[in-house]
Structure 1
Amino acid sequence: MAIRTKIAAAMAVLLIVAVSIIGFVTVQTVSSHLTDQLDWKLHGLVEQGTFSLSSPDAADGDTAGEMPYSEVAIMIFDDSGRLVEARSAGFADDPYSLPDIEGPPHTKDSFTVDSEGGATTYRAVSTGEVAIKGVSGTYTIVFAIPTSSVEATVSTLTRTVLVTGFIVGALGILIAWGVTRRGLRVVDHMVADAEHVASGNLDHRITAADPRTEMGRLSLALNRMVSRLTDAITQRDRQHERLRQFVADAGHELRTPLTAIGGYVQLYESGATPPGEKLDRAMSRIGSENARLAKLVDDLMVLSRLDEEVGGDRELVELAQLAQDAVDDAEVADSTHPISLTASRQLTVVANEGQLRQVLVNLLTNARVHTPSGTAIDVSVAEHDGWAVLRVADHGPGIPAKHRQKVFDRFYRADPSRSRATGGSGLGLSIVSSIVASHGGEIRLDSEPGEGTSIEVRLPIARLE
């Protein structure tokens, strides 16, 4: 059942119950009030206290025969319980039947009694045993008033309440249906928008309603949910694309040394490399390609661990000393690039020492590989705004603008030929970026063609207390 139907049905039930209760209470109250008025009138007759056989209601000074219409029926019983005299209520020529009372009542409280034949209902009261002027003995007088006027009033009121209740209920249901339909119109719009989004249009958003209303807050919440889902789907697709590219690039990188090794093995097996200088050269090339393959696998393992956020043990590391060690190692490995170190003072960071050493090695190796022989490399360690800044700058040819945003991507090389003479596996700077990110740091690149390249690594300085 639709929510507007449920609300309209609930309103209908509530209105019917409310109108029924109000009508019942109203009818009962009016009926009780009119009956009480009859009782007051009857008790007034009893309290007059002067009675006679000729005119029991002598207080009015009239006899029953002289009255064209009598509102009160009177019945007089003697002390033996015999009906001595009776006066009928109603018109003289068309009186009502007398109350069906066979003997004097034993109570002075008002009571209801039917007429003889049951055509009329009376409200009656008894005086008890009283004396009648001019007559010896005691008598019981019963005064009774027909309740036809009360019944007519209650009947009219009941019909009025039923008709009014039906009209009010019908109008209430129609108004509730209209208000509900108008109020839920925004829900219809939201459903249409949601179906539009579900059909694949993730850029579409739900029409926002008044934020002060429940529907408005719901629309805002749904829009936030759709935005987050869209971001999650986009991120998932991006990760899938990166994974696909990563697998493709890794396969390409692994295939090259494997192909070379396989080729030399086939030459050996075919006898094309007899013992001697040619075989030695082939074994040397196999060893070189095997070393390159091992290095590539090691880099992939490092990236895998970093992706799993396995940062290793952290300790206090003195950055200036670490930089000095890396510069000394680089000078021994390649004396064709003069390297200078500038460290204003000792700076301590909380990091994995082995991973920071790899950052320095990769940065220095990248600077040596991509600059001509004799190019100077400057290394500096300084403090800036609470960060320990490690800077490696070269004075080489620089990086073209179209490549600067991609140099930290995995397997990326600015050289489209992907030659290992002008670059390694394309994982060095990617490893640097992952390590720095896992340490809560930042990495910045500044390069201009012909002016060299500068890479800054920023790490939070350890606060020693």
Structure 2
Amino acid sequence: MAIRTKIAAAMAVLLIVAVSIIGFVTVQTVSSHLVDQVDQKLHGLIKQGTIPMDASDDNGEIPYKEFAVLFFDASGERVSAVPAGYKNDPYPLPDITTPPADTDYFTVSSVDGEMTYRAVSTGRVQITGAEGTYTIVFATSLEGVEATSSTLTRTVLITGFTVGALGIVIAWIVTRRGLRVVDHMVADAETVASGNLDHRITAADPRTEMGRLSLALNRMVSRLTDAITQRDRQHERLRQFVADAGHELRTPLTAIGGYVQLYESGATPPGEKLDRAMNRIGSENARLAKLVDDLMVLSRLDEEVGGDRELVELTQLAQDAVDDAGVADTSHPISLSAPRPLTVVANEGQLRQVLVNLLTNARVHTPQGTAIDVSVAENAGWAVLRVADHGPGIPAEHRQKVFDRFYRADPSRSRATGGSGLGLSIVSSIVAAHSGEIRLDSEPGEGTAIEVRLPIARLE
């Protein structure tokens, strides 16, 4: 059953029950009040102490008697009776054959069962001019009371039926209008469920329950859409990562396998040719080991958030990295500018990796003799590590991708263009794990500067 049908049915039942209860109470109350009025008339009649003659016409005759009077002698036998009603058409007498035992008011039918009387007994009384005692019973017809009750009952029934019918119609209209927004929400939800994730639920008045529900559903759909989009991106990145890793691993493995086949075939006899083959095998093996190490570093960075942290003096760390780079490669003059010590909370080994990768990247991608400037400074609560070279710079189309894994500007992936394309990706992952920022500034012909910002440690 639809919710609007349930609401309409519930409203109808509620109205019918309410009208029935109110009508029943009203009829009973009015009937009881009218009967009380009749009892008051009978009580006044008894207090009067005389038998009423009712209204008479001009000839002294009584055309209509309101009360029926029954007389019972001491033995309980009815000795006389005066009927109520018109002279020419009297009412049937009350069906009372013996005098009542008490003087309480009571209701009794007529002898033919077509009328109802309200009666009361005076008990044993002495009648003037008569011998002995008698019991007198006065009774008056409840025809007016029954007519009023019957009319009131019909009115209540008709009113209840009308109110119930109107209630059903009004409830149906109100619920249909009120639930129209639900129909729209259902249609919108079906649209989203069909695959249109850009569609949103039609917003209702935020002050209403439906409005708050529509807003909550829109937030839920947005989060689900973001999660699905993020999942798809991660899957795409994973597929690209596996493809790139396979490509990078295949190159040294193919070279090593080729030299091994040459050796096994006897094409490299002992001597200079064999030495050169073994040297190439060693070189490709070192390249393979470096690639595997970089992949392991990235894997650990994806699983951990910065590793173990400690206070690290960044200026001294930069000095050590510059000294090591100067010894490893004398073809690139490297200078350091660090006005004062700066301390950060970081993983020392990972920060060393950042410095090594940045300096290696600057040396590999610039001609021999190109100067490299390293600086450590403070700026608005950040420790700023900057590595700048004076090389050819990076073209605009490659600047947004240099931090992607396995990305290199040269699509041929020649060793002449550098390593496997993981160096800057590792730097970016480490900086992000330390709640830092990384920026790239490069123009063709003006060199490249990479700036790493880390929060300065607050020492108490």
TM band (smaller chain): over 0.9
Structure 1 CA distance, aligned partners of 2:205 and 2:250?
A: 61
1:421 match: secondary structure: helix
CA shift in 2, pair 1:331/1:388, >3 Å: same
1:433 aligns with 2:438: no
Contact 2:55 2:63 in 1 (8 A): no
Partner of residue 180, structure 1: 175
Which residue among 130, 140, 150 is the counterpart of 2:145? 150
Which residue among 422, 426, 440 is the counterpart of 2:417? 422
Contact 1:48 1:59 in 2 (8 A): no
Contact 2:55 2:62 in 1 (8 A): no
2:252 match: secondary structure: helix
Structure 1 CA distance, aligned partners of 2:288 and 2:108?
A: 117
Q: Could you list the runs of 5+ residues in structure 2 that have no partner in the other structure?
A: none
Q: Could you list the runs of 5+ residues in structure 1 that have no partner in the other structure?
A: none
Which residue among 340, 349, 357 is the counterpart of 1:345? 340
Please tell me the residue identity of whatever aligns with 1:269.
E
Partner of residue 256, structure 1: 251
Q: Kindly state the Cα deviation for residue 130 of structure 1 after the two structures are TM-superposed.
A: 2.2
Q: Kindly state the Cα deviation for residue 59 of structure 1 after the two structures are TM-superposed.
A: 8.2
Partner of residue 34, structure 2: 34
1:457 aligns with 2:452: yes
Partner of residue 296, structure 2: 301
The Cα offsets for residues 35-63 of structure 1, whole Å up to 9 and x where unpaired, read as 111111111111112x3xxxx2258789x
Structure 1 CA distance, aligned partners of 2:53 and 2:27?
A: 36
1:22 aligns with 2:22: yes
The Cα offsets for residues 61-117 of structure 1, whole Å up to 9 and x where unpaired, read as 89xx92212121111222332223211111222222211222221222211112223
Partner of residue 81, structure 1: 76
Q: Kindly state the Cα deviation for residue 134 of structure 1 after the two structures are TM-superposed.
A: 2.4
Please tell me the residue identity of whatever aligns with 2:24.
F
2:124 match: secondary structure: strand
Please tell me the residue identity of whatever aligns with 2:399.
R
Structure 1 CA distance, aligned partners of 2:250 and 2:65?
A: 125
Please tell me the residue identity of whatever aligns with 2:134.
Y
Please tell me the residue identity of whatever aligns with 1:6.
K
Partner of residue 311, structure 2: 316
1:66 match: secondary structure: coil
Equivalent residues in 2 for 1:19-168 (5 A)? 19-49=19-49, 51=50, 56-57=51-52, 66-168=61-163
Please tell me the residue identity of whatever aligns with 2:156.
V
Q: Which runs of 4+ in 1 moved over 3 A?
A: 58-62
After TM superposition, the structure 1 stretch with the greater mean CA deviation from structure 2, 144-153 or 346-355, is 144-153
Q: Kindly state the Cα deviation for residue 135 of structure 1 after the two structures are TM-superposed.
A: 2.5
The Cα offsets for residues 280-302 of structure 1, whole Å up to 9 and x where unpaired, read as 11111111111111110111111
Structure 1 CA distance, aligned partners of 2:138 and 2:377?
A: 118
TM-score by length of 1: 0.96
1:240 aligns with 2:235: yes
Structure 1 CA distance, aligned partners of 2:96 and 2:308?
A: 110
Structure 2 CA distance, aligned partners of 1:173 and 1:298?
A: 77
TM-score by length of 2: 0.97
2:417 match: secondary structure: coil
1:140 match: secondary structure: strand
1:124 match: secondary structure: strand
1:386 aligns with 2:381: yes
RMSD: 1.7
What is the count of residue pairs matched by the alignment? 460
Partner of residue 184, structure 2: 189
1:425 match: secondary structure: coil
Contact 1:433 1:443 in 2 (8 A): yes
Identity of aligned residues (%): 85
1:321 match: secondary structure: helix
After TM superposition, the structure 1 stretch with the greater mean CA deviation from structure 2, 119-128 or 334-343, is 119-128
